[in-house]
A and B are shown apart, each in its own frame.
Chain A
């Protein structure tokens, strides 16, 4: 494995140049965008750039393949940090995204992106399927971890207002048809739980039927043949859930239904009777979720004595690797970053290869879900919100305000811009989040179309360089790693610029290297350093 040290001349200078130029322009822009409220902000960013450059340079002296070994632990650590953010993060703008470490604070979701890329690169590079991934490989529907994922997803569905309340709708529907009376909030709560259990049971039953009918297919599952272990695991999982529920009933006199509190918080009905006052309900919920995840992981480890690769395959599907951090980020809530996890992960999986049939199936399922959701589940206000995403000028005074203000800023830059520190939209604070998410609209207003072309050209150079590194990589790990970094920068840049110029919904995604934010800058620079490393070690020695 030990590679000879490559010559410095081998460094991909276009990449380095583009990276440093973008970061420098970003700091120059920060000087203007933060001038009205935090004029010295750019100094901190400059410091981060300096530190990051040194770290990146040092990293070039190691072989990138060392990162393959630490990919899983790093990934696990990143997920724990994301969990920690949920449990005790610092909230800003109504979302918990920051973690305080001593005097510094940082956003674990940024390094988590890189950790996810490492993890996926390692995972997929060991499972290259020349014919492409199938549905089965991607999602592992026979895997007993699915019910847990389903539970997690359902719980999240309750919490997220923009996703609607499908379970609640269903519960109300059933209740109305069965009893003809509108249930009380408390009844509804437990009815929801019952319904979730029902759905889980149905899914499990379906899985078991499939397995029973087609033993040959079951053999294809990485799980060793035989159902005993699987049964035990399922029983334990359901037992844990039941125990938790029973505990909540028994302990009622003392803690008044912690499980109920958790669920009630999810459905946002806890305050109705005041019965749950005095708790930190979200914490309780997240604790319960965390316990369930840990219990499940430990049980999996304990009950299986198979090779590690098999264990990973048993517990986790490729989509899980991106879904776990994505969900953790989604709960913060940070829809934009969660979306980045998903699109970056999907891009990497696409590079690994997916069967055409699978792509078609996924497309069909997605489209039908969208149609059913639009006509069946979504309420008017939710539809309006989506319409505003599509056409911000449709609701210029309300939700589309940010998008419209940003478009005004960009448009009023015209060819050459108003000049540094001269942009009225930015200096008079009409732009939201103008030094982070909307940094590019400040740039567009003050530097004009030509300035924008320069920055976009630099991004093209940067991303293209990394893609070509991926194409020339010496092994599939390196190729996937570089592809991941390229897609991370690409997607963030596309989504951010698209949002700034009003073609994409306004979600919290920063422009890599350009926006203010130490965590983001360091993460992208580390990613670039890894890509450089892949380039340096592209030849097998």
Chain B
């Protein structure tokens, strides 16, 4: 080192020059390396990076589709879409986490969100990363005008950055609770369902925030009802701001939009007017009414009481309503018509009668003496009439609902024959109605008892005695009962219950028409594949070749005989006729259990039933002496007219007491309403012969 610096040494030092030249060469090398890297980026990876760049600024803006509309058989709207005002947030514009949390908390107080909803919103907002943070998230749907005003006034003060009021679509059920169980409701798809969909490749293209059918037709026909979202390609800048249209055209060309396709319209077989009358007529706390066209299995009424309002449980606002429903001891969620399983009581006697006739265990000529009780082995069963019915034949036994007669029949034919007949009439297995949550009921046979009552020695002969009058382990659903009586009334064809008449596109071109189908005897032999057949919007419907214009079709005024190969029950027509006349007598014969409740308008055939819920002691208790949940279920199943019936009705009035007094009037009211409505329809058709009133 040159200590102190030699000030006289000002000559260019020879070593510095070469080092500077080294610097020159290093410069060349360095820039060459940069050029190589640039070549790799711009020329080799150019196309790849350019497409990445395009993904930056092209955003697919979703144009939500309209969910398909659900109509009843006459074209009344049961489920529809209506505009709603939603509030959404864009995480990127909410700012960093503390600001975002503060904004959300502020928003929550403005629109009255629950703490739970706020927590979920916070999670939803903090989850996305990168460009996903530019996608808006709907925080609260269906704001009231007051809430909108509160949010907007805050926004006008430049608070609530990243919060926007947008218009959305919301499912609406104009008839309210009328067909709640039948229609079900929609709810936002949750993360688990979405994951499940994605595992299957997400063919329906669900995204978080989409609605999905949760129950009833909304769920079973989700495929048809769901449309296809449209897309609009837009150009956004780094802050997600939409650019001018001219600039978008310059970058993306003219074709920027894919229109959304609405979901298919689903026409139900339900008659909304009749359903309304049925619910009005139903006076009890809980129960179900099912009405079906015996000639084709089309469901006319499917009501379950108590009901809920699907408008109130959809979306986030429904949380409190949902809680209330969850806590109700009467279980309003339960669709009693298909998911409620009950002992059929005396309504099952028609089945026992058919079984006895089929087994030749009795005939119209045989009379059985009813002393008021029946003894088998060391056990004694009582008739509902303590004094006994005296000598009764099979027809009279149905009319007066003599227990002893059917105890006798049951003990004669045995449980195997009885269970066989019950199964042939559709009990003990699902009817495969296109609704979720259907229960199969239970037809006990020897094997069942050996299994279930193993502790008490398996099957005992006395068990068939209980089963013969519809008690014991036997369980049926109201729908099964209605279908079975429809089969008895129509001469022996057991139809599959049909809830959807046809599916049409949103502009009313028929996509699929559901034809009546008879049910086979066997289990699972005709496993329905409706799910797969179900037409999806977005598939080119024309390619299916089954399109037809229905606009000009006159409406079906009266159900016509369906052109299907009728699968007869393996039951002698004479036996059927005998039972049918017996059932007719229930309402026509002054001794009949429902004679005093008969219809003044139309001849009816039916059967009362009073199903014990709790095995009481020998003493019969008055209704007042029992608690609600111990009281008997009242049943009434009927069809009308008594010959060549056009409607079959099953009414269950839970814990209300006697079938003749508590259920029969409801069924009669439904049938009367049906008659009135048919007459009105006929009149309307004659008044307007050409048009097709929708």
Contacts and interface: CB of A to CB of B under 8 A. Distances in A.
A350 B23 CA distance: 10
Contacts of B48: 411
Nearest to A351: B19
Interface in B231-264: 235-239, 243, 251
A135 B454 CA distance: 97
Given A411-B42, A414-B42, A464-B27, A430 B57 contact: yes
B35 A456 contact: yes
Given A130-B15, A448-B42, A467 B5 contact: no
A429 B240 CA distance: 10
Interface string A470-513: 11111111111011001100100010011001110000000000
Contact of B50 (A401, A411, A430, A503): A411
Given A479-B16, A479-B20, A486-B23, A428 B34 contact: no
Contacts of B34: 456, 494, 497-498, 501, 503
Contacts of A414: 42-43, 46-47, 50
Contacts of A490: 23, 27, 30
Nearest to A428: B237
B4 A351 contact: no
Contact of B43 (A127, A353, A415): A415
Nearest to B130: A397
A424 B15 contact: no
B24 interface: yes
A368 interface: no
B156 interface: no
Nearest to A65: B10
A449 B237 CA distance: 24
B45 interface: yes
Contacts of B43: 414-415, 449
B539 interface: no
Contact of B4 (A307, A411, A412, A472): A307
Nearest to A463: B27
A473 B38 contact: no
Nearest to A445: B53
A158 B56 CA distance: 39
A313 B15 CA distance: 23
A299 interface: no
B41 A467 contact: no
A424 B16 CA distance: 47
A501 B23 contact: no
Interface in B1-26: 1-7, 9-13, 15-21, 23-24
Interface in A109-161: 126-130, 133-134, 137
A467 B21 contact: yes
A130 B235 CA distance: 63
Contacts of A498: 34
Contacts, number: 188
Nearest to A353: B15
- Most chain B CB within a 10 A radius of its CB, from A408, A411, A463, A487: A411
B130 A351 contact: no
Given A397-B129, A471-B18, A476 B42 contact: no
Given A397-B129, A444-B42, A128 B53 contact: no
A38 interface: no
A201 B568 CA distance: 108
Interface string B179-223: 000000000000000000000000000000000000000000000
Given A126-B7, A464-B27, A472 B38 contact: no
A487 B41 contact: no
A407 B48 CA distance: 11
- Most chain A CB within a 10 A radius of its CB, from B5, B18, B237, B251: B5
A222 interface: yes
A347 B22 CA distance: 11
Contacts of B50: 411-412, 414
A137 B3 CA distance: 10
A310 B16 CA distance: 24
B158 interface: no
Contacts of A502: 41
Contacts of A353: 15, 19
Interface in B24-77: 24, 27-28, 30-31, 34-35, 37-39, 41-43, 45-50, 52-54, 56-57
B239 A460 contact: no
Contact of A428 (B15, B39, B46, B238): B238
Contacts of B238: 428-430
Contacts of A472: 17
A163 interface: no
Given A309-B5, A425-B56, A479-B16, A351 B23 contact: yes
Contacts of A480: 16
Nearest to B129: A397
A207 interface: no
Contacts of B11: 475-476
Interface string A308-326: 0110010000000000000
Nearest to A494: B30
A211 to B, nearest CB: 18
B595 to A, nearest CB: 78
Nearest to B3: A222
Given A412-B49, A460-B28, A452 B12 contact: no
B41 A425 contact: no
- Most chain B CB within a 10 A radius of its CB, from A128, A129, A412: A412
A407 B27 CA distance: 23
Nearest to B58: A424
Interface string B291-321: 0000000000000000000000000000000
Interface in A289-314: 307, 309-310, 313
Contact of A396 (B1, B31, B130, B236): B130
A13 to B, nearest CB: 18
B33 to A, nearest CB: 9
B53 A424 contact: yes
Contacts of A477: 10
Contacts of A476: 9-13, 16
Contact of A412 (B7, B21, B46): B46
Contacts of B5: 126-127, 309
B610 to A, nearest CB: 68
Interface in B459-498: none
Contacts of B20: 351, 467-468, 470-471, 479, 482-483, 486
A408 B235 contact: no
Contacts of A410: 38, 41-42, 49
B1 A137 contact: yes
B15 A471 contact: no
A246 interface: no
Nearest to A465: B24
A427 B57 CA distance: 10
Interface in B529-559: none
A81 to B, nearest CB: 27
Contacts of A222: 3-4
Given A397-B129, A449-B43, A408 B3 contact: no
B10 A475 contact: yes
A429 B238 CA distance: 5
A60 B140 CA distance: 71
Interface in A385-432: 396-398, 401, 405, 407-415, 424-425, 427-430
Contacts of A407: 41, 49
A540 to B, nearest CB: 9
B53 A309 contact: no
9 contacts: A353-B19, A411-B45, A412-B49, A425-B53, A429-B239, A430-B57, A464-B24, A467-B20, A471-B21
Given A411-B48, A470-B23, A503-B34, 7 more contacts: A128-B9, A351-B23, A412-B50, A414-B43, A456-B38, A480-B16, A483-B23
